[in-house]
Amino acid sequence: MRKVGAEQKSTKIPVNPGGMDRGPLEFNSRVAKKVGEVLSVATPEVVTVPPTTTIIGAIKTMTGYGFRRLPIADAGSNRLIGFVTCVDIVDFLGGGIRHNLVRKKFEGNILAAINADIREIMNPKVISIEDSSSLEDAVRLMYEKNVGGLPIVDEKGRIKAIITEEDFVAMTAGRRTGMTVQDYMSRQVVSTPAQMSIEKTTKMIVQKGFRRLPIIQDGILIGIITASDIMKYMGSGEAFKKIITGDVRDVMEQPIKTLVRKALITTEPRMELGEAAQQMVEKDIGSLPVMEGGSMAGIITERDFLRALAEERGITG
């Protein structure tokens, strides 16, 4: 990055037909206790915005760079003061708790609301880690606090880098771990029907804390929708024009399947964890449906790779 200012559970879902070895490196050998090593894996060129950035300005930054999360920092000192994620944006635009800002403070005027400061909807209680920390410290904190990313700050609270679950997937990619996808995949998968409205799907994501949902049509898995997909849809193009002119209902009543655009990439239960990570890195995706016998047996996500690292280091116990 660069610095700039009707719910359904299923375990068996049919699907439409649709450089591994770097040497015998142990999976957990990359997670050392060396002081300051967290910076060796983290992304050093961090994009931040000041708290006076408008909400629409933050949305444009996130969609333009393809970010899921955006640190908010003081413009003068670069001291970290907050954080906003794509789920927060979807919450704001889609009728979650943050949408109260639109209804109460701006009396339903979405155009006025999106020009409010981003600090109105940011989370000021940021979990961060110091730049002197080890990589194991980062794994432990992310796992225990259940967060997908950690800003890395110096002793004065100035943001220096950011480490995310994606970094741990990249660290695992192409390496022999001695573990398979089935060891860490989630077997109880919550999905949503293809005809469910964007509004209902959005509320499910916000209220249940989901980052992604498999989309099912006629019993067939047709794709995965993420909070980022919804943010991009609602924060740009024709949908955004309708939202700011007050035609929110038309935007939100569209079926969620209209947002399924990416080709479906899957894996199998016995695939080596490092090979699955390689797939995710190459395809720039955050999860893989796990297929067995033509049906969906589970899903593996970036979070599961962090969990694998944590368990290997005894952090979960």
pLDDT in the model for residue 33: 56
DSSP structural state of residue 98: G
Site of tokens 């109260």 = 100
Q: Are 225 and 212 in contact (CB under 8 A)?
A: yes
pLDDT in the model for residue 250: 84
The string of pLDDT tens digits covering residues 274-300 is 999 999 999 999 999 999 988 899 999
pLDDT in the model for residue 83: 95
Q: Would 8-23+176-312 and 27-172 be classified into the same CATH topology? A: yes
Q: Give the residue extent of every domain in the chain.
A: 8-23+176-312, 27-172
Burial classification of residue 161, based on how many CB atoms lie within 10 Å of its CB (0-12 exposed, 13-18 middle, 19 or more buried): buried
Please report, rounded to a whole number, the percentage of residues in the chain having pLDDT higher than 70.
88
For 276-285, b/e burial (b = at least 16 CB within 10 A) is bbbbbbeeeb
pLDDT in the model for residue 34: 59
pLDDT in the model for residue 208: 86
pLDDT in the model for residue 9: 37
Q: Which amino acid type is present at position 139?
A: V
Average model confidence (pLDDT) for the chain?
86
Please tell me the class of the 8-23+176-312 domain: alpha beta
- The ranges of the chain with pLDDT < 70 are 1-36, 95, 316-317
CA distance 58 to 63: 9
Strands 129-130 vs 149-153: parallel, antiparallel or unpaired = parallel
The string of pLDDT tens digits covering residues 226-268 is 999 999 888 878 888 887 777 777 888 999 999 998 889 999 9
pLDDT in the model for residue 252: 87
pLDDT in the model for residue 317: 59
Q: How far is CA 272 from CA 21, 172, 192, in A?
A: 11, 11, 29
Q: Are 170 and 198 in contact (CB under 8 A)?
A: no
Q: Look at the pTM and tell me if it is higher than 0.75.
A: yes
pLDDT in the model for residue 182: 96
β-sheet bridge partners, residue 123? 83
Q: Which CATH number fits domain 27-172: 3.10.580.10, 3.30.110.40, 3.40.640.10, 3.30.200.20?
A: 3.10.580.10
Nearest to 291 by CA among 17, 3, 9: 17
